[in-house]
Every structure is written in C-alpha cells, then in structure tokens.
Copies of this chain bind each other. A is one copy, B any other.
Amino acid sequence: MKLLKISCLLGLLTALFLFANIAIAADDCLSCHQGKTPATVALWQSSAHGDKVTCVECHGSDHAAMLRGEGLVPATVCGKCHEQAFHEHSASRHGMGLHSGWGCTRNLTSRNPAECRFCHEEGSTLPKTTVQCARFQMQSAEMREIGCNRCHRVESSCASCHTGHMTDAKIVRDPGVCAKCHMGPDHPQWEMWQTSQHGTLYPVIGAERAPDCQRCHMSKGTHNVSFGITATPGGVPFPEPVYSEKRQQMLTICSECHAKGLAQRELTAADAVRVQSTALTATADKIVWDLYDRGKLQPMPADRPPHPLSGPTLVTDSQLLYEDTSAIERLLFKMKKYDWAKAVKGAYHQNPAYAHWYGNAELKMDLIDIRSEATRLLGEKAAPLESRPVTKAAGIEEELRVLKKRFERKELTEEVYLQEKAKLLDGM
C-alpha cells in the first residue's frame, strides 16, 4: 500500500516533469511558434544564437508569464555567456536604469551619506530594485512602460540596444541604436551629434575619420559607456582625482584624430560652459526658494498634491516635477532639465546651435521669465531678488524669517547667518 502510494506519487511527478518538459523543449516551442510567430523564429534561426541557444535557455519555461508579457530576457541571463560585456554594462551609468537621473554620488565630496539609502541597501553597492524617480511615480502604468521603461530598462535588458532576436553587430554599431533614447528635449545627444562636424562628416567619410557615438563612448567595444565622462548623470563634476583620470581617458580617444592640446582646450572650454550654465540655474533656484520662504509660490507646496518622495515641500533638485507645481517651478524645470543639458552637452559635442541657441540663449531667456514671474508674485513694485533692499520688500520681520529658513536648510553657515542678521538689525 505504501509502495503503491509512492509509485503513484512518482508517476505523478514523472507526468508533471514530462509535461513541464513538453512545455520547455525547444522543438516544442518551434512546433507552435513557427506558425504563430514565424518572423521571430526566422530572426532567431538566422542569428548567431540560432544553432547554439534555445528559446528556453533565454526565456525560461513559464509560458503563462510570457503570455502576460513578462517574457523579457533579463541581462543576467545574457551575462551567463557574455560575462565581460555584462559587467562593463552593469558598472556603467547604463546599469543604473531609472536611477540614472539621480546618479551615484559616492565620488562627490558634497555627498550626504544619508543619500545612499535612496538606491542601496545598507552596506551594499548594488542598486535596489525600487524605483527612486519622483517623475516615474507620478505617471500612469502605461506611460511608465512606454515613456519611462522603454529606455530605462537598459539597466536590465540587453535587448534595449541589441534587439530581441537579431545578433547582427551592425545594428549596435549604428548611431541609430543610441538615438532611440538619447534624443529629445531632455538630452538631445543624437541631434547635436548629427549636426556637429563629427555627425555631418560621418555619412560622407565614415566612422573611422568622423566618429559616431560608439567610437568615443564605447571605445574598443567596451560596454562601459561612462568611460571618460567627468560628471554624474545629474551633471555634477567628479572631484579629483576621479575627474582627471576620466578626462585623460577621453583625451586618449580624442588623440586618435586630434592633437591632444586642441582636444584638451575644447573640453576645458566645455567645462567652463558647464560651470557658467550651472551658475544661471543656481540664480533661478535662489529666486524660487526665496519665493517659497516668503510663501509666495502660487500654489504653495502645502496647497497641492504632495511630492511623492519628499511630501508637501519645495523640491528643485533632480527630483523636480513637471506637474502639479506653480508656474515658476515649471519654468525652472524647463531651465534645469532641458536647457542646461542642451548648453552643456552641446558644448562637449561641439555643436554651436545647441551650445548657444538651444542652450545658452534659452537659459538666459528662462531667467528673464523667472525674474518676471517673481516680480509679479512679489507685487509689481518689488525689484528682482538680488538687489532687493529691505525697505523695498516686505519689512524687517519677513527678512529675518527668510534668513532663518535659509540657515535652517544649511544654505547659510551659522557665521554668515549671524552676520546677515546683525546687518538687518543694524539697518533698522
């Protein structure tokens, strides 16, 4: 009886095993899929994987999950064979996915150690899977998928660049593969390359003499796209010695065609454009924070949906939203997210129209708009921020209150705070 039970159980297990096998054997995939998705099957067959890697080896055997749209092959699966590429990729900013706008701050001297917990478990260097992007969290499920993940899943899906079933190297050697994501108002690298000296010569004389994306950013085929980049994805330059080491990496690439001195001068000039552009956004930032301190934002954060990460407070860093804010914050969003990137990346990519017109000119016009809106919100008699003497503004009590808030959020040191306070009281 016991034996019977055991043999029944074994029979059942065998049946389950066979059923599972039926579901997962490559031939069985093909028997259906040659009819249902013949184009996909043909792509796989004609690829380098065709006679080596079966459907199940990549997609697994959970057919129900595949039918729910969850059959995307994770990068870890590719990494089993393509070890070096996987590790280079994972260590680069491409490995950061939806954290890439935030960027790892471990190399920054200004880093607040508390920041680490946004992306990492205590003591770990691996990113957590929870998305820490306020803009992502505000979107519908569909917009998250089409508008965010389609690019940001580069973190975990090699198919983002390599496509699903083709292995033809010419696909990933074409600048179009980068263009899919590195375009648009927030970072038009493709557009600025395409109309630069490099990009306009490229279709005429080829990547050998007129570099494309891969030639500079994936030198010698590396998957570490952060090679030679001297700043975080958020645009904050790395401190020494990281900065110099990264700059030397890029200069090695530039030197393949140009005199090193020339390349150095150009990149140093672009560094200066970055500093100048950041000074413009910092001025705007200060105006918006001053309005916040005075309770003049329209509406104030307390009177609108809370920020998904920070709650009912003003947020103007890389987690700045483009929805449910006041009009002046939306101007700041355009300035910091779009126009700063065009000026700075336009300078590094040697594109005059992006560095100057789309970037620098827009940054300066943004500042006009922000100052104008600030003047309106403060009441038409008030002068723009910097030059506003106390008497022209809202009186000594408000000025003292604003000063205290700036001290409390560490914008002012205690020393400067006490000096400024003394000046105000002396001026009474």
Contact B258 A352 (CB under 8 A): no
**Chain B residues in 8 Å Cβ range of A368:** 322-327, 330
A331 to chain B, nearest CB (A): 9
1/0 per residue, CB under 8 A from B, across A179-206: the answer is 1110111100010000111011101110
A177 to chain B, nearest CB (A): 6
A38 to chain B, nearest CB (A): 9
Q: How far is the CA of A404 from the CA of B352 in the complex (A)?
A: 43
Q: How far is the CA of A203 from the CA of B142 in the complex (A)?
A: 29
Q: How far is the CA of A383 from the CA of B67 in the complex (A)?
A: 47
Contact of A143 among B37, B147, B356 (CB under 8 A): B356
1/0 per residue, CB under 8 A from B, across A308-347: the answer is 0000000000000011111100100110000000000011
How many copies are assembled? 3
Say yes or no: is A243 at the interface (Cβ < 8 Å to chain B). Answer: no
Contact B372 A327 (CB under 8 A): yes
Contact B273 A142 (CB under 8 A): yes
A126 to chain B, nearest CB (A): 26
- The interface centre, meaning the residue of A146, A200, A201, A272 with most chain B CB atoms within 10 A of its CB, is A146
Given contacts A40-B258, A40-B259, A150-B352, contact A276 B140 (CB under 8 A): yes
A46 to chain B, nearest CB (A): 10
Count chain A residues whose beta carbon lies closer than 8 angstroms to a beta carbon of B: 94
Contact A139 B360 (CB under 8 A): yes
The residue of chain B having its C-beta at the shortest distance from the C-beta of A148 within the complex is: B356
Contact of A176 among B39, B204, B265 (CB under 8 A): B204
A240 to chain B, nearest CB (A): 21
- Which A124-155 residues have a C-beta within 8 angstroms of B? 139-143, 145-148, 150-151
Contact A69 B262 (CB under 8 A): yes
The 3 closest A-B pairs by CB, nearest first: A147-B356, A184-B353, A176-B200
